[in-house]
Amino acid sequence: MLITQLKNEGDLLSIAEGMMVTISCEGCKEVLFPGEEASALCGALLDGGRSEAAIVTDYICNPEHLALQLKKYGEAVGTAETMLVFSCGVGVQTVAEAYPGKKVFAGCDTIPLPGYQGVTPLEHDCAQCGECHLNDTGGICPITACSKSLVNGQCGGSKDGKCEVDKDMECGWERIYRRLEKLGLLDARCPVKIRNYNI
């Protein structure tokens, strides 16, 4: 079971730059989702002319299913600069990976719950941090993408972009830095700068 709650509306409106689409995921029976609040905010953005489409779908954590669902909204998704995603962290990361040229922001925080949460066969994971870091890290979770779960930047142990703990794993913070750089968000969003240990 996961519990999500809407992020502060003022914060969401301040980060959602340019024309956007909103995506609300209502797929998992295991997720307690703030559907009414998300629907009201998506509707207000649509009515206010800030959103091209308010998409409500399910299971956006599945990349193939996500692609099929968003195909119906091809023009709106294609022209939008920003995607505001209301789901758990897994859904936000899946959307960010599927649309690497777009700014993807989380509309919800996932609340930590004690006890066993089960195992997901999906590529991404949500650590249920309470206050989601995805809006500052380009939709790449520093907790689950970094083997050390560092939230303040890379450890300095990576070599050639690979993690020092797991040589087959890309350094999560290098991925975050490169994505923010590509989106032009390094100065606005990145909480740290990647250190050059060769100096």
Q: Which CATH class, in words, describes the domain spanning 2-135?
A: alpha beta
- Please tell me the predicted confidence (pLDDT) of residue 94: 94
Residues 102-137: b if buried by 16+ CB within 10 A, e if exposed: bbbbbbbbbeeeeeeeeeeeeebbbbbbeebbbbbb
8 Å CB contact between 5 and 109: yes
Domain residue ranges of the chain, discontinuous segments joined by +: 2-135, 146-199
Per cent of the chain over pLDDT 70 is 86
What does the pLDDT look like over 44-82, one tens digit per residue?
888 888 888 999 998 898 999 999 999 999 999 999 999
- Angle among Cα 193, 197, 199 to the nearest 5 degrees reads 105
What does the pLDDT look like over 7-42, one tens digit per residue?
988 888 887 667 899 999 987 766 788 888 989 988
Provide mean pLDDT across the span 118-131: 70
User: In the predicted model, what is the mean pLDDT of the chain?
Assistant: 84
Measured CA to CA, the distance from residue 88 to residue 4 in angstroms comes to 6
For residue 199, what pLDDT band results from cuts at 50, 70 and 90?
very low
Rg of the chain (C-alpha set): 17
Provide mean pLDDT across the span 137-155: 88
